[in-house]
Every structure is written in structure tokens, then in C-alpha cells.
């Protein structure tokens, strides 16, 4: 080994005692619950005897046969895909507008756009529950606009999940907008000037210049938002609690209900493991983006 290499190994060893407290804390906070969850997912909780009985992969087999799990899984996938796509498109448009030099009172508009982000999710959900009530302001507005039978947003099973998605998109747009705006502001103006000289129109400039220039920021923010949205619990919990008729149930809510209401802790842990497996793909992707 070269002298440089030897020195680096030596420095690494010297760092271990300094890193140890942090490593131990991380293990206690992250690793222990993770291992505990893994172990519990292989056990069934017998409520009367208060015993965790080892059942191997039985919880996972039951999951695969559980119609409600699949509904929650499908809902979660729909939820993440729709929320992220809608958020990205809308945030990108909003970021372009906010980045425009022609925008009057740019700072005021930027501040206003951030308001939904400043509100706690539970408050957002409670506010929207009022807005989306059958006789709430939204349906009243639709009535004024001539919609004869506005939907029962939170009561109609075919609409309930979409109502939750609508609220989540509204709540998350500001964060994505701020991130994309930061990306847009780092794009060199000379690129736009060059595109203008080449005769590119707005759409061509957006597709060929803007998007490639903010690709890295966009990928990171989309991955992060996907992880957060997948894990999001409060909006669905407050708005519909997974109903009506389990129409809007998502995986986090399904796990919560099993753990805290149905006394199926091993089963809930198995749901947690499945969720983690799904998230792992996103996390690996995110880490690769960051490391690049």
C-alpha cells in the first residue's frame, strides 16, 4: 500500500472513537426498531396469551391473500404516482411563472405560493374536510357555476381517494416549486440567449434547455417527494380514515389500523416490511442521484 493509502487507513482508524457515539445513537434509533420490526413480522401476536408466536413467513402469505392489503397497495401506488406527476407539472409551471422577470410583485406572489407549505398537514386536512363536505364551500361554488350534482368528495368511494390526492397535491406544491425555482435560478442566462438566437420558441426552450438544466434537482426532489408521499398518513387519516368502505385506504393507514386497532402487530410489521421494500428502490435511486 502506498504511503498515502496507509495514511488514510490510519486516519480512518483514528476517526472511529469520534464516530462511535453517533454510530451507537443511530443504531439505537434506526437499527433496533428496524430489526425489531423484521423479527415481529415473522411472529403472530396471540392477543389472549400476549405471546408472539414464531410463524415464519405466514404473515407475508396472509398479506398476499388479503384483498384489503392489495387494495391499500394499489391505492398507495395510485396515490404516489398521481400526486408526484401532478405536483411536478404544476410546480414546474408555477416555478417558471415565479422565475419570470415580467411577474409583477414577484416577492409577494412567491410568499403567497408558500402558504400551504407553512401549514401543518392535520390543519390542512381539517380545513379541506370542511371545504369538501357535501354542503361545503367547494360544492356551493360548483352549484353556483351550474354543476347540478357535484360529487360527494369524501363520501363517494369512487372519488374519495382522488379528493385526498387533490389535497396532498395542493399541500406539497410549494415545496416542489421552491426546489425547482432554485434549480431554474441556477440556469445560466447565456443558454437562453443562445436558444433565442437559434430561434427556439418557448416550448423548445423549455424542453431542450430548461428541463435538461434542472434535471438533477428535479430527480432529487421527485425522489424525495415520492418517499414522503408514500409514507404520508395524516391527510388520508383525517379526511376519510381510509373510507368509505375502505375505498381510500393506503398502506400506512392499513399498517396503523392493524397495529393499534386490530391487535395484529406481527401483521402490521409485515406491512411495514413491504413498505420498506418499496421505499428501498426509491432510496437507492435517491442516494445514487445525490452521490452523482
* Ranges within 14-43 binding other proteins (CB under 8 A): none
Minimum CB–partner distance for residue 42 and other proteins (Å): 15
- How far apart CA 136 and CA 152 sit, in angstroms, is 10
Query: Does 144 sit near other proteins (CB under 8 A)?
Result: no
Per-residue cell: 284: 437507492
Task: Point out which span in 2-10, 89-97, 131-139, 184-192 binds other proteins (CB under 8 A).
Answer: 131-139
Minimum CB–partner distance for residue 230 and other proteins (Å): 22
> Residue 154 or 214: which CB sits closer to other proteins?
154
* Ranges within 230-249 binding other proteins (CB under 8 A): 240-241, 243-246
The site string for other proteins over 51-90 (x = CB under 8 A, - otherwise) reads: -----------x----------------------------
> Residue 41 or 177: which CB sits closer to other proteins?
41
User: Under rule CB under 8 A, how many of the chain's residues touch other proteins?
Assistant: 31
Query: Does 50 sit near other proteins (CB under 8 A)?
Result: yes
Q: Which of 106, 109, 157, 205 binds other proteins (CB under 8 A)?
A: 157
* Ranges within 252-271 binding other proteins (CB under 8 A): 257, 260-264, 267
Residues 6+ apart with CB under 8 A from 41: 59, 60, 266, 269, 270, 272, 273
Minimum CB–partner distance for residue 241 and other proteins (Å): 8
Query: Does 223 sit near other proteins (CB under 8 A)?
Result: no
Q: Which of 154, 173, 273, 274 binds other proteins (CB under 8 A)?
A: 154
> Residue 80 or 164: which CB sits closer to other proteins?
164
Point out which residues bind other proteins (CB under 8 A): 44-50, 62, 129, 133-135, 148, 152, 154-157, 240-241, 243-246, 257, 260-264, 267
Amino acid at each position: 500500500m502506498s504511503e498515502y493509502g496507509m495514511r488514510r487507513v490510519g486516519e480512518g482508524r483514528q476517526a472511529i472513537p469520534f464516530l462511535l457515539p453517533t454510530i451507537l445513537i443511530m443504531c439505537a434509533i434506526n437499527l433496533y426498531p428496524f430489526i425489531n420490526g423484521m423479527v415481529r413480522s415473522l411472529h403472530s401476536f396471540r392477543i389472549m396469551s400476549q405471546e408472539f408466536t414464531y410463524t415464519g413467513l405466514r404473515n407475508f402469505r396472509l398479506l398476499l391473500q388479503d384483498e384489503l392489503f392489495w387494495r391499500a397497495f394499489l391505492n398507495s401506488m395510485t396515490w404516489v404516482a398521481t400526486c408526484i406527476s401532478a405536483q411536478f407539472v404544476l410546480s414546474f409551471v408555477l416555478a417558471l411563472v415565479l422565475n419570470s422577470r415580467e411577474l409583477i410583485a414577484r416577492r409577494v406572489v412567491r410568499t403567497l405560493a408558500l402558504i400551504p407549505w407553512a401549514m401543518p398537514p392535520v390543519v390542512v386536512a381539517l380545513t379541506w374536510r370542511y371545504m369538501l363536505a357535501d354542503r361545503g364551500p367547494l360544492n356551493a361554488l360548483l352549484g353556483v357555476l351550474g354543476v347540478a350534482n357535484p360529487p360527494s368528495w369524501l363520501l363517494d368511494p369512487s372519488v374519495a381517494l382522488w379528493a385526498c390526492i387533490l389535497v396532498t397535491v395542493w399541500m406539497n406544491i410549494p415545496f416542489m416549486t421552491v426546489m425547482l425555482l432554485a434549480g431554474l435560478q441556477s440556469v445560466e442566462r447565456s443558454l437562453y440567449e443562445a436558444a433565442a438566437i437559434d430561434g427556439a420558441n418557448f416550448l423548445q426552450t423549455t424542453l431542450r434547455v430548461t428541463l435538461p438544466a434542472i434535471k438533477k434537482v428535479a430527480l432529487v426532489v421527485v425522489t424525495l417527494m415520492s418517499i414522503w408521499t408514500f409514507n404520508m398518513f395524516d391527510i388520508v387519516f383525517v379526511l376519510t380514515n381510509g373510507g368509505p368502505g375502505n375505498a381510500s385506504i393506503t398502506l400506512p393507514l392499513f399498517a396503523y389500523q392493524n397495529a393499534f386497532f386490530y391487535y395484529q402487530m406481527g401483521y402490521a410489521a409485515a406491512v411495514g416490511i413491504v413498505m420498506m421494500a418499496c421505499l428501498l428502490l426509491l432510496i437507492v435511486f435517491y442516494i445514487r442521484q445525490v452521490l452523482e
